[in-house]
Amino acid sequence: QAAADPMSSSDAPEDGPKETSSVSQNISDADAFKILLEMKMKKRQKKPNLPSTVTELDTEDGSKVYVVGTAHFSDSSKKDVVKTIQEVQPDVVVVELCQYRVSMLKMDEKTLLKEAKEINLEKLQQAIKQNGVMSGLMQMLLLKVSAHITEQLGMAPGGEFREAFKEASKVPFCKFHLGDRPIPVTFKRAIAALSFWQKVKLAWGLCFLSDPISKDDVEKCKQKDLLEQMMAEMIGEFPDLHRTIVSERDIYLTYMLKQAAKQIELPRASETEPRNYIPAVVVGVVGMGHVPGIEKNWNSDLNIQEIMSVPPPSASSKIFKFVIKATVFGLMGYGCYRLGQRTVQFILSMPAAQSYLQKLTEMRSQH
């Protein structure tokens, strides 16, 4: 900090020695960068003491990537993330989040716990507006799975990502990247992969999820994340759905980790000085279920254009969409009908209304 913010001459005593301020002013941005970088390198452990949940991967140019496999509802996963970042002092931290879920990084645990438990009509409307009817409903059903775990454990999801965000801010020159594929793309591709009856069956299974979960269950699932395991059990009979929700995201996460692991350019004193690069150190924070896929894809040439495209809606999607809309409007119409019927009966039962009707009857009989 002293190197980055040298003391100005106005802050120095007028009658004191001026050597300190003149030396401070001579420190360039490049020198300050070098000083802080050296401090960071000294703190970086040559042989880091890493948790057992960390997988180490190397790139062709010598960069290192430490992938922390986490359980999304686990206190020990938070500790693993913090310890890994402190040990390796990374240049980049990549987390399994996209821009649509980035808000959870800055929300406090209490607010997140409340938000995760509450699934209301407003959230459903927002999801449908953002992703379309089918993808919005799929998102809400998956949120129901997460809310079920949250309610059972009293623990908000994403704690390991918030810890990664906090810890990365303490490391000099450490960048923070979002590494997951955008939710709308994932859900739209998932919907397109299902037939009409598969969509009905999946929605039915998600709607009636109620199995109890304990904290011991979470820790037992440390080798396979609890949320992803529950989803895997429900989508196991739908290979295409597993491909879009898990396998394709493995590819996307791998690609983003490799992009983050490109060599870092060192600061130069002048434009004429040659460029020097050093290998990067990256920490990836992902669900444990994605680690095997990342390892499998690590040495492959990856192209994410195909898995980022959204196919046009199929005939079954249009039918299912029509059925959902017809059901919603039908229920609304029936509700209005019942409400109107009860309202009319209530009004007619009032003494004033009965008196008015009696007068009308008498007037008609006189004519």
**What are the pLDDT digits (tens) for 104-129?**
887 776 676 666 556 666 666 666 66
State the maximum Cα–Cα separation within the chain, in Å, rounded to a whole number. 116
pLDDT-based confidence at 258, cuts 50/70/90? very high
pLDDT > 90: what percent of the chain?
31
N- to C-terminal Cα distance for the chain?
A: 99
At 283-322, the pLDDT tens digits run 999 998 899 999 999 999 998 999 999 877 655 555 655 6
Strands 64-70 and 54-58, by their bridges, are: antiparallel
Helix, strand and coil content of the chain, in percent to the nearest 5, comes to 60, 10, 30
218 close to 74: Cβ distance less than 8 angstroms: yes
227 close to 153: Cβ distance less than 8 angstroms: no
pTM for this model (two decimals): 0.70
Tokens representing 148 are 């079920």
Cα–Cα nearest to 241, from 187, 290, 285: 187
Tokens representing 335 are 């509700």
